[in-house]
A and B are shown apart, each in its own frame.
Chain A
Amino acid sequence: MEVVASIMKDYIIELLKDGKRIDGRGLEDYRELEVKTNVIEKAEGSAWVKLGNTQVMVGIKADVGEPFPDLPNMGVMTTNVELVPLASPTFEPGPPDERSIELARVVDRGIRESQAIDLEKLVIVPGKLVRIIFIDVHVLDHDGNLVDAAGIGAMAALLSTKLPKIEYNEETGELVKLDEYEPLPVRKIPIPVSFAKIRDNLLVDPNLEEEHVMDGKITITTDENGYISAVQKSEGGSFKLEELMYAIDIASKRAGEIRKVVLDSLNKE
């Protein structure tokens, strides 16, 4: 494994001297992106994402529960990522490891901090009962850049989510699910875009081979208003301020293109 990685590293670096990548892309090119929504009928919302050969499935489930004590008038969202062994020889069954925890938390921050979901609209009884939105990311095939695939899938799934209307009977304290559905209130579409750093090069949307040899990685989540809602430098390596400025610029450009693919997928349903 280490020998292969070191030969591959030399090859990747050699190509980068001419601005080339092993799959023929330029440094700023994203892989082909396919998004399909509402692919799981049992889920309130869902999306399947194929980014190059990386595949993820995201399902949204909704429940009713208590709000956080410090945020009594807001619904709850949680994000979870499962790296199931079917997706890669390096994934093992068991509780979430640091990779899946970091992945989930970066995706979560991008959505939460941009207030993409209007959580105030998810209150049923203020301070007592609110909707809980579960974003569950299931990685199916790992060929690099899981953060972007998961983040794109999460937004597509949220946008496709329809919740059954709920009536609360004050006298009996009972909840009644109606046969009417309303869309989840989604206000923004934050999109994460990641870069691998290899020597002095920044490569957008790294594939798995590039991730194996990269020094470090950075993810920047931007929304349609040009705001940044999450940044995460990950793994080793280091970045210069100029590289960061470049990455922010490219990230918001790529995010704009990705957002279109996500919106198109909803129209195709």
Chain B
Amino acid sequence: MMEKPEELKLLDEKGYRIDGRKKYELRKIDMKIGVLKNANGSAYVEWGKNKILAAVYGPREIHPKHLQRSDRAILRVRYNMAPFSVEERKKPGPDRRSVEISKVIRGALEPALILELFPRTSIDVFIEVLQADAGTRVAGIVAASLALADAGIPMKDLVSACAAGKIEDELVLDLNKEEDNYGSADVPVAIMPIKNDITLLQMDGYLTKEEFLEAVKLAIKGAKAVYQKQREALKEKYLNIISEEE
């Protein structure tokens, strides 16, 4: 978090945010499914200025072999940012932040999968952030979940995600970059909406218990709205295929 320039107001008197949104309004989200030829499943998500591509390979043979599990598949996740995705060029390859995000995203997706169905294999999820503008991990989860569905991997539910945060002493939904930089808390949440299971939850900031729970509830609401968009995107692709065959 950076020191906020005095003159910068993240919320105006009428309660509008710097990008014109209201407090509980999501940014514009577009989803496309099956955008890559080689991957078994793929999805592209534009979420505000975030541009994120996810691909799934597998279930497939594992390399190196010693990682094989005789009773189930292993899930591997790599979250990676392109050097040109941020204001100042990012050195290519994994930094500590990406390593942590890859790990928590794996934990967010795993509960939705039935890994026992594919012993001795791996399911590999690759998330490439082509442009970043806050909320890349939640957008990455949304894209990855669509790519898993596109790959035909059996899932208990889609995983949806959204972040809430605090700016100018108010809780708001779906922080953009300036709000993330100068705000006082960021709470990314992923859920499996059917049973209201929280599969990713982090908090970076300083909140009372009450504020934190409010933020979680707000993020869950956001994730449920995103979930509807995910379902529509899947329907758009797969219902079209069915009607073409008819």
Contact = CB atoms under 8 A, between A and B. Distances in A.
Interface of A: 2, 70-71, 96, 98, 101-102, 104-105, 109, 113-115, 215-216, 218, 222, 226-241, 244-245, 248, 252
B209 A248 contact: yes
Given A98-B99, A235-B107, A238-B192, A113 B205 contact: yes
A2 B120 CA distance: 13
Nearest to B70: A2
A244 B206 CA distance: 17
Contacts of B220: 241
B29 interface: no
B158 to A, nearest CB: 14
Contact of A70 (B2, B71, B106, B205): B2
Interface string B162-198: 0000000000000000000000000100001000111
B129 to A, nearest CB: 18
Interface centre among B3, B96, B199 (most CB of A within 10 A): B96
Interface stretch (B142-150, B211-219, B229-237): B211-219
B167 to A, nearest CB: 15
Nearest to B109: A236
B197 A102 contact: no
Given A227-B208, A228-B203, 5 more contacts: A96-B96, A218-B201, A233-B199, A234-B107, A236-B106
Contacts of A248: 209, 212-213
B196 A233 contact: no
Q: Which range contains the number of B residues in contact with the other chain?
A: 35 or more
Interface of B: 2-3, 69-71, 96-97, 99-100, 102-104, 106-107, 110-111, 187, 192, 196-209, 212-213, 216-217, 220
Given A98-B100, A226-B208, A230-B203, A239 B70 contact: no
7 contacts: A70-B2, A101-B99, A113-B206, A236-B106, A236-B110, A244-B216, A245-B213
Given A113-B204, A241-B217, A248-B209, A234 B104 contact: yes
10 tightest A-B contacts by CB?
A238-B197, A231-B203, A236-B110, A233-B201, A239-B198, A98-B103, A238-B199, A70-B2, A238-B111, A101-B99
Contacts of A226: 208-209
Nearest to A215: B111
Contact of B69 (A2, A109, A115, A235): A2
